[in-house]
Structure 1
C-alpha cells in the first residue's frame, strides 16, 4: 500500500509501485487536468507539484511517492493563487490552444512560491521544462510577471 497526500487529502493505493504517477492520477483518481503529451519528460503537460517541486508525472513511478505531498492542477485550481494566475494568463493573452497551460500554471506557481519577484530570465528558467507551440512564450512570461506584481503577499 502506497500512501501520500493528493491535493490536500491523504490517499492510498495498492496499484503496482512501477505504475506511472500520470496513469494513477488520471485512471484511479480521475484527475484529468494533467495530460500526457510526450511520455518522456520533454513537454511538461503532465507537470504536478511533488513536495512543492515541479515534476513530470509521466516519469515518476508511484512507488517513489510514499509520504509525498502531490498537488495537481485539478486541486490547485481551487486556490487564490490559481485565480490570480488564471486572470493574469488571460489578461496577457497567454492562453491559445490551452494544451500546455496546466503544466505552465504549475511551473508558474512553483516559481512564484519560491521567488515572488522573479526577473524575466528567472521566469524563463522557471518554465523551461514546459513546451508551448502557440504563444512563443513571451505572453506567458508577461503573465507570470503580471501575477508576481499583482500577487504581493499571496505567494
Structure 2
C-alpha cells in the first residue's frame, strides 16, 4: 500500500510503525505492505488520526457527491470501511467484535486485552520442562525421555 505524502516516518523500509512490524528483507517488506492486515490497520489509523480534518473514507464519500449525513448504516459502515448486502448482514457486523473494538478505539477507550500470566502451565521437575496443557504433560510423562530419567 502506498503511503500518503508526509507519512514516510510511519512506513520505512525497515519498520512499519502502524503495525509495529520489523521488516528484515525486501520480500518481507513487500508482503507486509501489500497485505490485507496492513491495509486494515492503516485505514483504522487514519480514522483515529485524521488528516486535513477527515479520514480517507469520508473524503471518498465527499468526492462521490454524497454528504456525510446521508450514509445508510444498513449499506455501509464508515468506521470499518465495509459495505453490506442487507440489513441483516449490517446488524451482524454492528454486533461483532471487530466493530466494537474499533468503536472503543475511536472513543478513546483502550481495548480489553487478554491478561498475560493467567495461562496454566505444567512443569516436570525431573526433566526441567514446562508444558502448556494437561494433555502435553500426560504425553510427556509417557514419553521415552521422561521414562529414561
Length-normalised TM-score, structure 1: 0.23
RCO higher in structure (CA 8 A, sep ≥6): 1
Larger radius of gyration between Structure 1 and Structure 2: 2
Length-normalised TM-score, structure 2: 0.23
Higher share of residues assigned strand: 1
